[in-house]
Structure 1
């Protein structure tokens, strides 16, 4: 089976990756970046096939946008690899060191996880991001993208792997599962001993399936039912700009806002302008009963709307009594990704920051900044919405673990 063969090759490569010199890894990332630019026509031609197939299937525009590549996006992928090469290598760092009364020196050393499996949908740029981050952090990677991006992923992964191997990276360190049969994913999730960690990137259905079926450890990522609360003290022009950015700039991504909560004291003055602006930009607004009373043209929201990650130009809006009702709503419906408060009240801002249990919590800023690049991590492997090991944008450090190293001078335990 393809996945078993490639996992075994990755396991063998991972042993060599763990001790690879940083200069070799950085050279490989440079080669990979150059190769993406050099082979851009090949990649764009492959992507064109995927986009045409998606259009034939009438896949919604926001998802096609996630799939589509152009020169600018490929250049961004190449730039991301160069940024990763410029980041400090965490592997081998001893973060803590202490000395025991018996003279033993004990330290915590950063080490690669080993073989990381990435299961993802639609976005072919993930292929480059994942390969680059896993390489720099000393891991071997097995990529399994969605069938809708198979041509793009084959083109990108082959270009990256060839360039990396030419620079001295062990063969098998970057591999793509080309078989789009779902059984390959099922087998991949059971390869304990060959794969050390699986990271799913995609919609709620994919992530739920991996969490429920994998016997390999999983880091939960991605589902983003994100909220913005507009407090009564908010600067309304700023609030409108933030909401528009968070919804419209790229609606098909996990850090786009899906629900806006508005304090009742400002609802009548703010909602008509907000709805008019959003509607003019193609956004369908679904509102609570109070929202609909103020703006009769909006569609009435259902209970399902509050729990939905639309990934589309649709926004749920609810008028709330105060910050406490906003916090209760977020606690009930949030997926733990990103939430923002727009306010000029310091106490409310601090309350929101402390009370909201999400990976990224903002004051007076768009949720769209929950991104490894925007946080200064370089490209990211995903946004972790869990609390153990890694949370939020996962950069290089989050793709390592640690081991204890103990230096002695003949000590024996009595």
Structure 2
């Protein structure tokens, strides 16, 4: 297969679809997404059956438990996927929104308004729900999407995409608004990354190797995060019951998501570290700690230098003691990935120092890092979490999928 020709053709059709979407009324886009959600619900049995084929194939290949959890679909997850698409239809449309306006001394009226980015390529692994989430967000924000899913979710992605597009088309939206690359050949990713001028932005969602490849090879702007090395810091003033509840949830609710805590930091002055560590082990988590942690919890294994820089995406947690909030912030600055970090404390002044001093896209106080999710932030489904400093940061939803242009209205002015 000539993958460059394939991607060029898909991009040309996506461009035409994006131009149609950009001028489409909010109600029309919302109606299309609601129809897409209904079509996904109607196809639930077919989607679950396709997912079962994927699960059987990758389980035989030895995929990890965390990755299997990301891939797995059942009727409840399909229903949640459809609900997420419908929820996007109910969000405020950012396209055409006036960001700011003013009148220049020349009398020119100036307005900055939000506009779609254009054609967005999404390269993802494992999670088939990205097919629906990314497609819905792109459509509502007036963009066309080119989706390239991983081979492990091949059948699931195809079933979800077919249902979504059937619904969009039934409501009069362009069929090419959401396209799925028909091959799982890795060369197709390279073709997308080289498609400067045809694809306007690439969003990678997947493991470290995928994101690293995209960032290294792309000739197209990239919106991504490389790692989710997230920290939960238990301060001396933390309530012990709250600390146990939050830390166990932050690690163990779903270990394979990018918002899971990977390192626990404990203030040396915290009065109840032993019960906290015991609760973590009792939850079924493997604990890897510094010498002080291992002395308090005999079931802990000694942590190596690499543990502080590892995104486990599994039931494994590294833990160490630090000298107060300054020690916690120093550790995060050295080992963190600028994704999500949390402090647990009853001391507001200490919390404010942490919130201001930690340079991450999401910084939390007395909450589980598992809340690092666009849906939990009221943004609807998210296309990803960005840890960069340009364009968009944190959960990227509708607003993050727009740029802006200047509208300038004059009354005959000519510049001197």
TM class, shorter-length? over 0.9
Separation of aligned partners in 2, 1:264 and 1:88: 46
Which of 114, 117, 120 aligns to 1:110? It is 114
Partner residue of 2:22?
Answer: 18
**1:285 partner SS:** strand
Task: For residue 172 of structure 1, give the secondary structure of its aligned residue in structure 2.
Answer: helix
Shift of 1:222: 5.8
Q: Are residues 1:399 and 2:401 paired?
A: yes
Q: Distance in 2 between matches of 1:112 and 1:413?
A: 31
Q: TM-score, normalised by structure 1?
A: 0.98
> Counterparts of 1:8-407 in structure 2 under 5 Å?
8-221=12-225, 223-266=227-270, 270-407=272-409
**Structure 2 contact 114–403 (Cα < 8 Å) conserved:** yes
Q: Structure 1 residue 272: deviation in Å?
A: 2.8
**TM superposition shift of 1:275:** 2.8
Whole-Å Cα distance in 2 between the matches of residues 73 and 30 of structure 1? Answer: 17
- 1:66 and 1:357 map into 2 onto residues whose CA distance is 28
Structure 1 segments, 4+ long, off by >4 Å, are none
CA RMSD of aligned residues (A): 1.0
Query: Distance between the aligned counterparts of 1:392 and 1:372, measured in 2?
Result: 8
CA distance, structure 1, for counterparts of residue 345 and residue 273 of structure 2? 16
TM-score by length of 2: 0.97
8 Å contact from structure 1 (residues 222, 254) kept in 2? no
Between the aligned partners of 2:120 and 2:298, the Cα distance in structure 1 is 51
**Is the CA contact (8 Å cut-off) linking 1:150 and 1:178 kept in structure 2?**
no
Alpha carbons 1:202, 1:223 under 8 Å: kept: no
State the Cα distance separating 1:158 from its structure 2 match.
1.2
SS, match of residue 219 in structure 2: coil
Report the Cα distance in structure 2 between the residues aligned to 1:354 and 1:277, rounded to whole angstroms: 30
What is the CA–CA distance in structure 1 between the aligned matches of 2:413 and 2:322, rounded to whole Å?
A: 65
**Gaps in structure 1 of 5+ consecutive residues:** none
Is the contact between residue 199 and residue 221 of structure 1 (CA under 8 Å) also seen in structure 2?
Answer: no
Distance 2:225 2:383 in 1: 9
The answer on whether the counterparts of 2:250 and 2:368 sit within 8 Å (CA) in structure 1 is yes
How big is the shift at 1:223? 2.2
Give the secondary structure class of the aligned counterpart of 2:147. strand
Q: Could you give the per-residue CA deviations for residues 22-57 of structure 1, whole angstroms, max 9, x where no partner exists?
A: 111011011001001101011011000111112111
Q: Distance in 2 between matches of 1:222 and 1:159?
A: 31
Q: Per-residue displacement from partner, 1:176-200 (whole Å, max 9, x unpaired)? A: 0121111110011000111000011
Matched residue SS, 1:316 = strand
